[in-house]
Structure 1
Amino acid sequence: MEFCRVHAVALVSLLLFITPVVHGWGIDGHLTVCKIAQARLSEAAANAVKNLLPGSAENDLGSVCSWADRVKFRYHWSSALHYIDTPDNLCTYQYNRDCKDENGVKDRCVAGAINNYTTQLLSYDNSASQYNLTEALMFLSHFIGDIHQPLHVGFTSDRGANTIDVHWYTRKTVLHHVWDDSIIETAEERFYQSNVDGLIDAIQTNITGNWADQVKTWETCSRNNTACPDIYATEGIKAACDWAYKGVTEDSVLEDDYFLSRLPIVNLRLAQGGVRLAATLNRIFG
């Protein structure tokens, strides 16, 4: 996962010219996670982000939060780092059992990637750091978003519901895409005039309101670790079983009953992802 240092300005200036591919969360989901995180950064973390993202729009995370999806074809090795495959129907996650790629190589999953890029960023104050810290920041910001999408910790046989065909109202898609994009897009159309900023504002209002008493727990990392992806993955597979997979079979038609009951879970996971990304960066750079 290591590669040579490149000039940060040149790297970030190229971001918008890379062809997009399939996303984990959609673009708006990742943008939401990173916008929530940006507003919660400490001064030290905000300065570090600014230093590592020269040339990006307002030096903010939101402008680069989907970069890791756009470079899958350039960095083929990175594709396995976006998800975790767990044994079918167990609805449990274990790092030593599940964090591996399709070839069985250990630590190559989204939890392992979060650990790796956290470690890289902890060398930020070391002028002799061997890592490309701009890329490490962009990968970490994206992967903390990915691990909060429940079907990024899904079943092995259906590849996180990528092979389960469904209809989202009248449109044919796969269940994974429903959770990456469709629920968010439908919420934006119905409630926020197709504006992602309205969704972000609503979630931020809940973070300081309805969820305020939970936020400290979300931010806390066990055993004083800097990042806690195992907690997030354990929550993810539980949400996948309780909400994403539940009641869905091949060719299910998913309409208002599914949308309105699952939207609160999507909003919660986006909120948790943003809060935890900020907390992780604050610990790294603080």
Structure 2
Amino acid sequence: MKKTFLTALALSGALCLISWGFKGHRAVATIAQKHLTSNTAYVVSAYLSGSSLADVSTWADENKDRATAPWHFMNLPLGLSHDQFVKLVSQSDGNVYSAIVKTEAQLKDKSLSVEQKNEALKYLIHLVGDAHQPMHVAGKEDKGGNTIQVRFDNKGTNLHTLWDSRLIDHEGLSEADIAKTYDTATPAQIAAWEKDSPLEWLWESYQISTQLYAATKPGQEIDEAYYKKYIPVVRQRIDQAGIRLAGELNKLFGNEAVPQVKAAPPVQAAVPAGLVKLEDLKNFTGKNVSVQGKIYSVKDISSMVLANMGAAYPNQLLTLAFKGDTKALANTLEGKVVSVSGQVIEYRGKPEIIITSTDQVKVQ
């Protein structure tokens, strides 16, 4: 079987395949962010210049690169057995499977620049979501369901778009509520899902898309019964994608030193007296700021010392992560008011600043 088998698809068809839509991809990324280890979160934030996973989760769709358009999907013959599927996919190239393998290899490559890893990471964040959208591992003849016209909510659509976004939109949940509602995996499920390889993620999608072809006919009016039957599948696939993305990133970066990247220009002039309010830090992710507040609690976790500003854990408004030689300073700060400068990152939904120099902290 030639490796080019799965790349023989017109680029015009490739460019129209957008997986999960904006809400779905951001939900995958938001779930993943919550399940990153502390070190992984710092490394990822450094490679992404302070952006969160959700912030860059749709970049690969927005980038519109014709050379990488086929990376988002995989078109296959129907009726393959597991062994046939594994053999065909493992020998293929220029599709979502080979792209995941390629980007993970790039992220392990110590010779690549921070800029190259930034791009590889943005692709990987997106492609793990793509791999879990069933209609992105589907039939070649109908371009992953794009040519199968149906109606839903009194509007014309197609089977691919139905699964990208229409079922999710029908729920009427906000972006934040989608991530919260979908993130329901138990510890046992997390352990099991993270053990599966990308080949198995794709096999799962292939099995589901096979079922969808049998359940969805051209011209069909998609009713509430269909929605209630399949929205749990949508939720699980997005949850699985988030958990597995976190698992892959933790394996890649769990023990990696935080890369040194050039800091973004300060944004102090955008706020009164050069200080950002603690309550507003969520709006400054990825920016260099100065902030002031009381340290309510301090915890030494060996690899770093965490100091909570604005309130004690878990109600803190900002966490300061003291690393290296600055840890000794952190242990003297409880109960004191300090001024801090540094880049804001997001970790598990809360703002943090990494402290690597005592010059970043001044006791008032």
User: Shared fold (TM-score greater than 0.5)?
Assistant: yes
1:109 equivalenced with 2:78 (yes/no):
no
Once the two structures are superposed, residues 9-55 of structure 1 have per-residue CA deviations (whole angstroms, 9 ceiling, x without a partner) of xxxxxxxxxxx976211110000000000011112211111111115
1:1-286 pair list within 5 angstroms: 23-54=18-49, 59-72=51-64, 75-90=65-80, 94-98=85-89, 106-123=92-109, 126=110, 128-129=111-112, 132-187=116-171, 189=172, 192=173, 195-204=174-183, 206-207=184-185, 211-221=186-196, 228-242=197-211, 244-286=212-254
Read off the aligned partner of 1:77 and give its amino acid letter: A
Read off the aligned partner of 1:61 and give its amino acid letter: L
- Decide which structure has the larger Cα Rg and report it: 2
Percent sequence identity over aligned pairs:
30
Does the residue aligned with 2:93 lie in a helix, a strand or coil? coil
Structure having greater relative contact order (Cα 8 Å, sep ≥ 6): 1
Q: Is the Cα–Cα contact under 8 Å of residues 17 and 72 in structure 2 kept in the other structure? A: no
Supply the distance in 2 between the matched residues of 1:22 and 1:157 (Cα, whole angstroms): 14
Once the two structures are superposed, residues 172-225 of structure 1 have per-residue CA deviations (whole angstroms, 9 ceiling, x without a partner) of 0110000000011101x1xx3xx1211211122x22xxx44322100114xxxx
**Cα 1:21/1:163, change in 2 over 3 Å:** closer
What TM-score comes out, normalization by structure 2 length? Answer: 0.62
Structure 2: segments with no counterpart, 5+ residues: 1-14, 255-364
Supply the distance in 2 between the matched residues of 1:219 and 1:90 (Cα, whole angstroms): 25
How far residue 96 of structure 1 moved from its aligned partner, in angstroms, is 4.4
Aligned residue-pair number: 238
How far residue 156 of structure 1 moved from its aligned partner, in angstroms, is 1.0
Q: Is the Cα–Cα contact under 8 Å of residues 163 and 174 in structure 1 kept in the other structure? A: yes
Read off the aligned partner of 2:58 and give its amino acid letter: S
Supply the distance in 2 between the matched residues of 1:23 and 1:94 (Cα, whole angstroms): 23
Read off the aligned partner of 1:79 and give its amino acid letter: A
How far residue 248 of structure 1 moved from its aligned partner, in angstroms, is 1.1
Q: Is the Cα–Cα contact under 8 Å of residues 52 and 134 in structure 1 kept in the other structure? A: yes
Runs of 4+ in 1 over 6 A off after TM superposition: none
Read off the aligned partner of 1:52 and give its amino acid letter: Y
Q: Is the Cα–Cα contact under 8 Å of residues 78 and 210 in structure 2 kept in the other structure? A: no
How far residue 89 of structure 1 moved from its aligned partner, in angstroms, is 4.2
Compare the two structures and name the one with the higher helix fraction.
Answer: 1
Read off the aligned partner of 2:56 and give its amino acid letter: V
Supply the distance in 1 between the matched residues of 2:78 and 2:159 (Cα, whole angstroms): 16
How far residue 98 of structure 1 moved from its aligned partner, in angstroms, is 4.3
Does the residue aligned with 1:167 lie in a helix, a strand or coil? strand
Supply the distance in 1 between the matched residues of 2:188 and 2:104 (Cα, whole angstroms): 27
